[in-house]
Amino acid sequence: MGFPQLKSKTSMAMKRILFIHNNQYGSLTDSLKWCEQLHDRYKITYICFDDGKERINTPGVHVIYVPRIGNKKMRGVLLLLFSAIYATFFPGFIFVIYFEKFELLRKLIPFRKLHLDIRTLCVSDDNSVRERVDGEIIHAAKIFNSVSAISSGVIKKMNLNKKVFLLPLGADQISSTAKDFLAIRLLYVGTLQNRRIMDTINGVELFIKKYPNTTLTYDIVGSDPSGVELQKIKDYVASNHLDKYIKIHGLVPHNHLQPFFDECNIGVSYVPITDYYQYQPPTKTYEYAFSGLATIATSTISNEEIINQENGILIKDTPQDFCNGIEKIMKMKFDSDTIRETVKEYSWTNIVDKYLIPIIEH
């Protein structure tokens, strides 16, 4: 920990940005990519908790780690107070990525201009929890000096009587290989929590029964916080003798995902079609397309903004429609380079230049 030093003539040449978030630097892909794109144009400080994970070093980014000590409330107070004191003396733009209860920062330092960014509204399947958390987010958005959000749908849902900047999700190209689409090699990468991935497994079952000689494969990469859903899926695949077709890999670090994106040709972006998922852009839809994979995606409003006949198909959130989706996509013709072209505007370079820098400079 430490507080800002007096500005030297050298440091004054670069505008300063302070990012504040609760998760350790690198855990949130969005802010990591922002810093990687901005570090040669701005002097960046990043305050976050030390979660005990491997630390990521980005040139030009000074990360201040606040220790996670005591109970949850004590940890929150420690991060809040340290951020407030640091921000009080910080000579630059202050960018807060929303997390629960951090609207209190605005009340602690009402004399400082603070920008609030909202990466997601609540996606709990408990309606009362969603109403409470979304209410807190909207309240915070009202009292911060300026606000940005991840999608136009989120902005519309908050219904604020103020300008809200759009700051969309971006993605990287994980694989640069040209895919062939002669056989179906499905890939799901992401959380297993509340995503009903079992629907896709049941959909594959239906497809196999209809086409018993299929050479289809399905790689599932990811887990859920408790591990309960992961184990449930593993048990189901084993007990129903689906091992020949479906491989369950659990958690795989992001920097080890390339072989999956190289070898597979169809991405699975399966998000339940509910009110609370409609406006949440799915990271993997972009990553599949950037890597040249066609995508079977559920028809959420966010997926509808990305998927077209050149890069995939849209389906309902049922096992039967997933099966139908496999049938449809195997009859279509795709080209990896064409698929990549459909999402080029969502590169992190473009997101930072077109959306983030105007927020910082406004």
- Band of the pLDDT at 72, cuts 50, 70, 90? confident
Mean pLDDT rounded to a whole number for the chain: 93
Q: What is each CA distance from 93 to 87, 247, 325, in whole angstroms?
A: 9, 46, 47
Residue 239 has pLDDT above 90, yes or no: yes
pLDDT at 13: 63
Integer Cα distance of 223 and 194 in angstroms:
11
Mean pLDDT lowest among 2-11, 143-152, 254-263: 2-11
User: Could you give the domains of the chain?
Assistant: 11-168+347-361 (3.40.50.2000), 185-345 (3.40.50.2000)
pLDDT at 6: 42
Judge whether 208 and 327 are in contact, CB under 8 Å.
no
Residue 201 has pLDDT above 80, yes or no: yes
Percent of the chain surpassing pLDDT 90: 84
pLDDT at 161: 92
Residue 10 has pLDDT above 90, yes or no: no
pLDDT at 337: 97
pLDDT at 254: 81
Bigger pLDDT: 11 vs 203:
203
pLDDT at 311: 97
Mean pLDDT of 77-95: 96
Residue 34 has pLDDT above 80, yes or no: yes
Mean pLDDT of 316-342: 97
Sheet holding 146-149, edge to edge: 61-67, 42-50, 15-20, 93-97, 115-118, 146-149, 164-166
pLDDT tens, position by position, 157-200: 999 999 999 999 999 899 999 999 999 999 999 999 999 999 99
Q: Which two tokens stand for residue 87?
A: 């921000």
Sheet holding 217-221, edge to edge: 246-250, 217-221, 185-189, 266-269, 294-298, 312-315
pLDDT tens, position by position, 92-149: 999 999 998 889 999 999 999 999 999 999 888 889 999 999 999 999 999 999 999 9
